[in-house]
Structure formats: C-alpha cells, structure tokens
Amino acid sequence: MPDVRPDIPPWGPPPGRPAVLSRAAGGAGRAGAVPAGRAVPAAAPEPGGGRPRAVVVPGFGHPMLAPLEWAELVRPGLPLAWAVLGPSGAGGGPGGRADPFCRTAAARLRVSGRPVLGLLDLEFGARPYRELICAAHRYLQWYRVDGFLLDECPGDPEDLDRIAALVRTLTVLRPGALLVLGHDTGAAGRHPHPGYAEIPGVRQLVTFRGSWAQYRGYQAPEWTRRHPAARFCHLVHGVPERALDHALRVAGREGAGAVYVTDRCGRALPAGRGHTDPWASLPGYWDRFVSCVGTGVSE
C-alpha cells in the first residue's frame, strides 16, 4: 500500500470547492453533459432476460454474532462477487479500533479468493471528504479489504466530479480496488445519472435497493442497456420464497448481473429505535437462492 497520509489525500476536491461532498437527494438520471475526460463505454448487448450470474452480500451481521452467515461465504462454488464488512454495524465504517472477529472473517474470505469490501457511507454527499479517506485507510490497514462500497452515493450530475475525485483517491490508496457505488433507488424511484457508470475505476453500481413490493414493477433506465449486466446489481428484501424465481427473472430482464434477494424485512423496532436490518442474516431459502444464480454451489 502506498505511503499516503490519511489526513492529506493525494486527490482533493476540485480547486476552489469545499472539502465536503455536496448533498444530493439520491440520483435523478437527468440529462446532462458527461464531464470531460470520462470514457464512454462501447455499446453492450441488450440484456436478454437471463438470470444474474453472481451473488453480492451487502452486509451480514457482525462475525461474532453471525458466524454461520460468514462461514457460508467461503462455501465452495459460491458465485460471490463481493461481500461488505461493516465492523461498526449497519451504519458502516471500520470502527474505532481493529476488531479481531472482523479480521478473521476478512482473512478467511481473502484466502478463499472472495472479495471483501469496506463500507463507506457518503450520506448522499454530506460526509466530509477527509473523514471518508481516514475510514478507508483504517479499513486497508486493519482488514486489508479489496475495495469499497460507497453507500448512499449521490446520483445527480452536479456531484459527478466529487465522486470521481473520491474514486481516484481510493485507487491510489488501494491500486486495483473493487469500487461499487451504492445508489438508493428503491423507495425514491430515481436513478443515478449515466455518467456515474463512466467514472474510471468504478466497477459496479447498485441501481436498485428496496422491497419486493417496489421491485415487482421495477424498470431499469434505458441507458443501462449500453453496459454489460455485470456493471449493475440489485438488492431486494421481503421476497417470499414463492416469488424467488420471479425476482430473479426481474433482475435478469432489467440487466442486473449480480443480485442479493432475501425474505428478511426491515421491520420497525419498538419505541422508535429504528428498523431491523434485512441484510444482516441469511435468507430462509439461501441454498435455493445461490443454486439459482451463476453455476450453483456444492451442498
């Protein structure tokens, strides 16, 4: 890893602009010019309605509390594209000090050749730039992650330059990093501007995250068809087992090459204490789910 001071990132925000990612409401997919210097990808075949080829895991519970879930990620034959490690919980981040359980989980994934990502919550652009870089540095130092999920990523065209600058910094800190942009598009029904798929160094975009009720009628924006399905993934919760095949057909039809589908739901906790995390535990139909994606797994 290059000798980069976490408090002085080698790539800063554009000159004359504040070192805080400007707040955006999520991603409109509005028309707008693509910033200079971004390569426009060659046209890709239109999605043919096949099933997704890979599984992604947006964040199981802490490895101490969810050992079964983390053990499943090293299962032979699992078509895993990436799994997110969030030591400090659903809110994301590496925590204040190295966690031995998370170190062990990350090491097991690394030995098995499965990519593990750190979770950086951009708070739709409100998170200070230097705070993100410091968190990334800790992830790399403590857990040797392969890349990052940039969660709650803004999606409007005016934020493209800032996200591109952050991506450049992360690729300096971790050359060859697997970088995924997590756009919240479920409840809002809005999509990121197409320029986000053209930022150099971005491997994949989460273009849907939400409930089965929202997903049943989901339609991906037309611009996604210019890219291979491997560039996009969908995260769907609250899918009953009887609807699993239907959900996977929607994912294939709408051009998602990777997917996570679960019957778990985000339920409100009593006394206004937030919601349960639908991604924290295995789906009740985990075996069936992974056998339907990619080439399947060994029992």
Q: What is the pLDDT of residue 267?
A: 72
Extents of the domains making up the chain: 54-271
Q: Measured between alpha carbons, how far is residue 192 from residues 25, 39, 49, 156, 158 in Å?
A: 10, 17, 22, 6, 11
What tens digit of pLDDT does each residue of 115-136 get?
999 999 999 999 999 999 999 9
**What DSSP element (H or E) covers 286?**
helix 286-291
Average pLDDT, the chain: 83
CA distance 9 to 51: 40
CA distance 112 to 196: 31
Residue 297 has pLDDT above 50, yes or no: no
Residue 27 has pLDDT above 80, yes or no: no
Q: What is the pLDDT of residue 187?
A: 55
Q: What is the pLDDT of residue 32?
A: 35
CA-derived radius of gyration, the chain: 18
Higher local confidence (pLDDT), 30 or 162: 162
Q: What is the pLDDT of residue 90?
A: 53
Residue 10 has pLDDT above 90, yes or no: no
Q: Output the pTM of the full model.
A: 0.83
Q: What is the pLDDT of residue 156?
A: 94
Residue 34 has pLDDT above 70, yes or no: no
The CATH number for 54-271, chosen from 3.20.20.80, 1.10.10.10, 3.30.342.10, 3.40.50.2000, is 3.20.20.80
Residue 23 has pLDDT above 70, yes or no: no
Q: What is the pLDDT of residue 1?
A: 44
* Local confidence band at 294 (pLDDT 50, 70, 90 cut-offs): confident
Q: What is the pLDDT of residue 276?
A: 83
- Nearest partner of 260 among 297, 213, 293, 227, judged by Cα: 293
Report residue 273 CA to chain centroid gap: 25
